[in-house]
Structure 1
Amino acid sequence: MATYRSAATLSSADGTRTPGTAALFAEPARKGGNPPWAGDFRPSNDAGYGPKNAVGKTFTLELPNGNTGKVVVQSLKTGKGGVTLALMGEDAPPF
């Protein structure tokens, strides 16, 4: 299971960019397909609660090395640590 944890940016179709931290993981691929991947995204403190009405929408996750991946926001959780968006990846993992 590959893992990735670092700074990232979540970009919406309208060009809005939300900086934060991504914690991602990938499962082994099944029969030569793309490995499924998912993870969490925590917007940085100055980004507030992140994108508005994000659940169910598709975004582009940009990593510091220039790699990108399409993600769908599955849920949004708020707690002591701030806001966390649960992500489900599409296509090949960018890490």
Structure 2
Amino acid sequence: MSMLRREFGIAEPIRRGMEVRICQEGEWRPAVLGYKGEGVHEEILSGRDSSVDWEDVFNGEFCCRGKCEEGKANDGDTGNETQNAPDFHSEMENRLKMNW
């Protein structure tokens, strides 16, 4: 940010900080879809839009031959990342404060 400030003045780092904050507050996907981590907009603003990391592809537990990273037996299936997620409708009602 200091390089941006020297190059473009004080307005550019402030504008980028505001854009990052807006992206963090506005980015939301339900847990049923397995959303963890940053969204595309935040990756673009941070300059990581041209690389693909492990977390971009595999965002659940890493399971191999029945043993997960946390040491739990899993019988070899890898589709557990959405097993404990709330259903879409109840999560949306909670987010919009419609759960009266």
Please report the TM-score for the alignment, with normalisation by the length of structure 1: 0.20
Larger Rg: 2
Between Structure 1 and Structure 2, the one with more helix by share is 2
Between Structure 1 and Structure 2, the one with more strand by share is 1
Q: Which has the higher contact order (CA 8 A, sep 6+)?
A: 1
